[in-house]
Structure 1
């Protein structure tokens, strides 16, 4: 069983005022097939965790470790992390002018698997995945995310997730900017990937609405760069009712 283990992770980021510490000792273990939801107020370190796992160069790991099946993730380059089985669905997917979705997806699949997929099988898989995500076939020949709406960009991220078949996916506010219909379609795509491959998921969100469609096994509340509370799906429901005020008092609020 594959396992992604985060131990005492401390991360800082460069700002105009110098390095600023964001994560202050995060411990988290995600096993194959588990869905973990990360919730918390703005600025609590949720996206920083996602970027640290993916290897964003702006973020510096000052202490702790990230391992995937015992292998040191922090020693890997970004492409090595992808080949090892890590995937990041970005909160703000970037546009790549001049690169079509078709070429991007097949190049990525070839790089991860070490060999190019069969054209006939690949075309069939892409068409099927796009159909399930309600993406028009013309999106295959459009440049990656160029001119896409917010919802279309998020569907395109899940298209990549379904086709690349990672071991673990970090979904950074995949629900942001989605209307109800798009949220359902994206959630269905995530659930398909989870059920098909035993995908482990780290789902970062502000709101519980996506958790109505993607049921978490564990919920972790981030406050001031630490895990302040952990529980099951019922914890998300409590947060929906009470908010984060009870965490934002005294020393914690001042960090």
Structure 2
């Protein structure tokens, strides 16, 4: 059992005029292994800032609070150290990596995280099984990372990484954006397979909409407004948001 704890987290971002703007204004959140936490909120509320701050994006400056993984100070870790400690980020807008094939990227990442290269026969079998589950053509492995990928292919590739790298905690930043119904189901099935596997990761699922929560059932739902958690509850809170929206929270912000 592992625990990711976020305590009173404050984060700023540099602005074009040379000033800074506070985005996160005291976030408290605790995620344990096997739990699915949905973060929901309107545009500009700081959801993606939370994701990138956990991952260590240099654009964001932590000005207060703490993030710990099993007691270890995440904020003192470099980005690669965070990955080796068990943190994974599925990006909202995955970047292209020309000249690097998916197969090379995946095996290099697995080797870096585990500290040793996976046994080739087992690795090939695991990759094929994960790709089959995500309904990805075998030729996909020889394409360059995210180069000329459709939106759905990029999101499937993110979940493929999650299944193969087996993190302790996965932050999924709007993994449902740009997906049609069929792709949404396939991606959700991949997340659910990871949850049902032996690694038993904790998942922080960031989304605007409840549709992905029909397929990935959250244990907790947090409403994120103006850089902080405005309300939290169980899955029924997502149903309430579907009916009423965020107006009542925005009025208090």
- Which range, TM-score by smaller chain? over 0.9
- CA positional deviation for 1:129: 0.5
Say if 2:74 is the partner of 1:36: no
- CA positional deviation for 1:249: 1.3
Whole-angstrom CA distance in 1 between matches of 2:21 and 2:196 = 39
Whole-angstrom CA distance in 2 between matches of 1:102 and 1:25 = 40
Say if 2:9 is the partner of 1:5: no
Whole-angstrom CA distance in 2 between matches of 1:249 and 1:36 = 24
Whole-angstrom CA distance in 2 between matches of 1:44 and 1:129 = 34
* Per-residue Cα deviation, 1:124-181 (whole angstroms, up to 9, x for no partner): 1111110110000001010001111000000000000000000000000000000000
Q: Runs in 1 of length 4+ with deviation above 2 angstroms?
A: none
- TM-score, with structure 2 as normaliser: 0.98
Unpaired segments of 5 or more residues in structure 1? none
* Per-residue Cα deviation, 1:7-26 (whole angstroms, up to 9, x for no partner): 00000111113110000000
Aligned match of 1:236? 238
Q: Secondary structure at the match of 2:250?
A: coil
Whole-angstrom CA distance in 2 between matches of 1:49 and 1:67 = 14
2:209 aligned residue (207, 210, 223): 207
Whole-angstrom CA distance in 1 between matches of 2:154 and 2:72 = 32
How many positions carry a matched residue from both structures?
Answer: 251
Aligned match of 1:156? 157
- CA positional deviation for 1:108: 0.2
Whole-angstrom CA distance in 2 between matches of 1:131 and 1:195 = 17
Whole-angstrom CA distance in 1 between matches of 2:86 and 2:69 = 9
Aligned match of 1:60? 61
Root mean square deviation of aligned Cα: 0.6
Unpaired segments of 5 or more residues in structure 2? none
